Structure 1
Amino acid sequence: MTAHVEGPASAEDFEIEYVDTAGVRRRGPLSALWSVRFEVVRPERRFPSFRGQGNWCGWYWSATCGGHVGYESWLERDHLMLLDFDPLVTAVASQPFQVSWPGPDGKRVRHTPDFFVRRADGTALVVDVRPDERIEPRDAMKFAATAAACGLVGWDFVRVGAPEAVLMENVRWLAGYRHPRVHRPQVADRLVEAFGEGASLLAGARRVGDQIAVLPVLFHLLWQRVLAVDLHAGLLSASTRVGLGEVREGGGDAVASAVSASG
Structure 2
Amino acid sequence: MLVGVVPEARMDVCGVSAEDVELEYVSAAGIRERGALGRLWPVRFESVRPERRFPAFRGQGNWCGWYWSATCGGHVGYEPWLERDHLMLFDFDPLVAGMSSQPFRLSWTGPGGKRVRHTPDFFVRRADGTGLVVDVRTDERVGPEDAVKFAVTAAACRSVGWDFARVGTPDAVLMANVRWLAGYRHPRVHRPQVAARLVEVFTDGGGLLAGALRVGDQIAVLPVLFHLLWRRVLAVDLEGGLLSADTRARLGIVREGGQDAVTSSAVASG
Common topology (TM > 0.5): yes
Q: Does 1:3 align with 2:3?
A: no
How far the C-alpha of 1:187 sits from its partner, in A, is 0.2
1:21 and 2:28 aligned: yes
Provide the C-alpha distance between the structure 2 equivalents of 1:238 and 1:157, rounded to a whole number of angstroms. 38
Q: Which residue of structure 1 aligns with residue 154 of structure 2?
A: 147
**Is 1:159 aligned with 2:166?**
yes
Counterpart residue identity of residue 87, structure 2 = L
> 1:188-207 maps to which residues of 2 (within 5 A)?
188-207=195-214
d(CA) in 2 for partners of 1:115 and 1:138? 20
TM-score by length of 2: 0.91
1:187 corresponds to which letter in structure 2?
V
Instruction: Name which of 245, 250, 253 aligns with 2:260.
Output: 253
State the shift of 1:51 in Å. Answer: 1.1
- Matched letter for residue 131 of structure 1: T
C-alpha contact (below 8 Å) 2:207/2:245 kept by paired residues: yes
Aligned partners of 1:87 and 1:253 also within 8 Å: no
8 A Cα contact 2:94 2:255, kept in partner:
no
CA 1:170 to 1:194, structure 2 compared with 1: closer, same or farther past 3 Å?
Answer: same
User: SS of 1:122's equivalent?
Assistant: coil
Asked whether the equivalents of residues 88 and 252 of structure 1 are also in contact (C-alpha less than 8 Å), the reply is no
Is 1:244 aligned to residue 259 of structure 2?
Answer: no
Pick one of 75, 83, 86 that aligns with 1:68: 75
Once the two structures are TM-superposed, the CA of residue 249 in structure 1 deviates from its matched residue by 6.7
Q: Pick from 137, 142, 155 the counterpart of residue 135 of structure 1.
A: 142
Q: In the TM superposition, what is the alpha-carbon distance from 1:68 to its structure 2 partner? A: 0.2
Gaps of 5+ in 1: 255-263
Contact 2:46–2:125 (8 Å) recurs in 1: yes
2-side partners of 1:39 and 1:25: how far apart? Answer: 16
Matches within 5 A, 1:44-193: 44-193=51-200
